[in-house]
Every structure is written in structure tokens, then in C-alpha cells.
Amino acid sequence: MDIIAVIIALIVPIGVAIWTVRSSAKDTAKQIAALEESTTKQIESIKELSRLQMDASIKQVELEIEKNLFLAKQAQQEWEDIQSINNSGLSGNATWSEMVKKQYQEKKPERDYQLYSQFVKELQGIKQSLVASKKKLN
């Protein structure tokens, strides 16, 4: 009987140890799986944030391009108009030349208004694109 008690006394702790190791391994595997899933979600969130930042940077560059195209268009228009005044047959007549240049200067606000209105329309297009991107986030 003593031998049976000794054998049982040895087998029970070994059984408990085996059960504890297996249970611990299952818990560890569950924790690792949960950690991997969490990490994957974090990586996807970071990728999405990076895409959004790139989109914002692209929109900023588009805005700068539009602004500079506007200024270039304005300068080109003024340059071409002054060239046409200077190259006309009456450009030798100082009075005529000054009068035409003065009229040209007086119409500058109207030309600027037309260019600014066009620029505002282009900016509104960029804004609509940004609003659409924002709605995708929500």
C-alpha cells in the first residue's frame, strides 16, 4: 500500500505539471494571436494615416501649382498686352502710347477680377475633393 501511495504521490504532481504546462501554452498562444491581430490593425491604421498625409501633401502641392499658374497667367497676359501696345504702328506717338497704357492700367482691376474668379473656382474644386476625402474617413 505504501508503494501505491508513493506512486500516486509521484504521478499526481507530474499530471498537474503536465496540465499546467499545456494550459499555459494554450493561454500563451491565445495572447500571441491577439497581439498579432492588434499589431496588424495598428499597421493598417498607420498605413491609412500615411495615405491621408500623402493626399494632404498632394493637395498642398496642387494648391501651390494652381497659385503659381495663376500668377504666371496674370504676368503673361500683362506682358503680351504691353508688347502689343509697344509693337503697334502708333507706338511712336508718345501721347497715344501713354493714353493706351493708361487705359490698360484702368482695366487691370477687371482683368484681375476675372483671373481671381477663375482661381477661386479651381480652389473650390480642390476643397470639394478634400471634403470628399474627409467623408470617407467618417
Where along the chain do its domains lie?
2-137
What is residue 39's predicted lDDT score, i.e. its pLDDT? 92
Which segments of 1-107 does DSSP mark as H helices, in order? Answer: 2-86, 94-106
Integer Cα distance of 39 and 48 in angstroms: 14
Alpha-carbon dihedral sign for residues 83, 88, 91, 96:
negative
pLDDT reading at 58 higher than 70: yes
Q: Label residue 1 by pLDDT band (50, 70, 90).
A: low
